[in-house]
Amino acid sequence: EAQVTQNPRYLITVTGKKLTVTCSQNMNHEYMSWYRQDPGLGLRQIYYSMNVEVTDKGDVPEGYKVSRKEKRNFPLILESPSPNQTSLYFCASSLSGGGGEAFFGQGTRLTVV
Amino acid sequence: QQQVKQSPQSLIVQKGGISIINCAYENTAFDYFPWYQQFPGKGPALLIAIRPDVSEKKEGRFTISFNKSAKQFSLHIMDSQPGDSATYFCAARRGAAGNKLTFGGGTRVLVKP
């Protein structure tokens, strides 16, 4: 089954404690991205990757890092989380080249206290 | 500045009625306009999409109307069913920018039996 898998689904952490949210896809997609979803703002792109070792900033990259060492994995790293990063996070993947739909993971609800 | 504006934020419709969600965009470089459906606890899933050289696309009870000159597009859900209760997001993609999606703020639809 084609899918994007995120872990964990729920996470409560304290300010400043580094965390990583993992994302893995089994569709051999080149393009992967991270979004955060906040009420009334829709989904906003944090970072994206066009392929292995190629990453770039999206619209709201501050406070986040990513890496793409393997095609299937695209972890999101919060080096020093702050309360304004409390949000619902989604990883997505798609074929590159401007075609095809984006497949989303089930989301990670992060709370930073 | 939100490049894709979506309205209304929420709507309630009776079973069998028509749900209409509207979106407006600013960037004429957008070349693909998908709609996503999101159920609670799930990631967004592609519902239907249209390209700007087409004025209307219909898939079952779901229809996209596209007005290129007005830079507006809308989703019509005919014969709305309780199972259609979800949050709907319009989005726009600029092919020249890879697969980045710019989302509207979302519309929560509740279909009453």
One pLDDT digit (tens) per residue for chain B, 113 residues:
568 999 999 999 999 999 999 999 998 888 899 999 999 999 999 999 999 899 999 999 999 999 999 999 999 999 999 999 999 999 998 876 667 789 999 999 999 99
Q: Which residues of B touch A98 (CB under 8 A)?
A: 31-32, 93, 95, 98-99
Nearest-neighbour CA in chain A from B50: distance (Å): 12
End-to-end CA separation in angstroms for chain A: 36
Task: Write the DSSP symbol of residue B32.
Answer: B
What pLDDT does A45 receive? 92
Going by C-alpha positions, the residue among B66, B1, B64, B68 that lies closest to residue B28 is B68
What pLDDT does B57 receive? 96
- Tell whether the model's pLDDT for residue A97 goes beyond 90: no
What rounded mean pLDDT belongs to chain A? Answer: 93
What pLDDT does A99 receive? 54
Q: Which residue among A4, A35, A102 places its CB closest to the CB of B99?
A: A102
Which of A22-26, A105-109, B49-53 has the weakest average pLDDT?
B49-53
Q: Which residue has the tokens 């000159």?
A: B69
Q: Which own/partner pairs from B49-55 qualify as long-range (CB within 8 Å, at least 24 positions apart)?
A: B49/A101
CB neighbour list of residue A39: distance below 8 Å, 6 or more residues apart: none
Identify from B9, B30, B99 which residue to disrupt to test chain A contact, counting A C-beta atoms within 10 A and taking the largest count.
B99
Query: Do A1 and A67 contact (CB within 8 A), yes or no?
Result: no
- Tell whether the model's pLDDT for residue A90 goes beyond 80: yes
What sign does the dihedral A57-A32-B44-A78 (CA atoms) show? Answer: negative
Q: Which residue among B4, B100, B105 places its CB closest to the CB of A45?
A: B100
Task: Note whether A40 contacts B45, CB cutoff 8 Å.
Answer: no
Question: What are the structure tokens assigned to A86, written together?
Answer: 């409390």
Nearest-neighbour CA in chain B from A47: distance (Å): 10
Question: What are the structure tokens assigned to B63, written together?
Answer: 């229809």
B31 alpha carbon, distance to own chain's centre: 15
What pLDDT does A1 receive? 85
Arithmetic mean of pLDDT, A93-105: 77
Query: CB distance from A10 to chain B under 8 Å?
Result: no
Query: CB distance from A84 to chain B under 8 Å?
Result: no
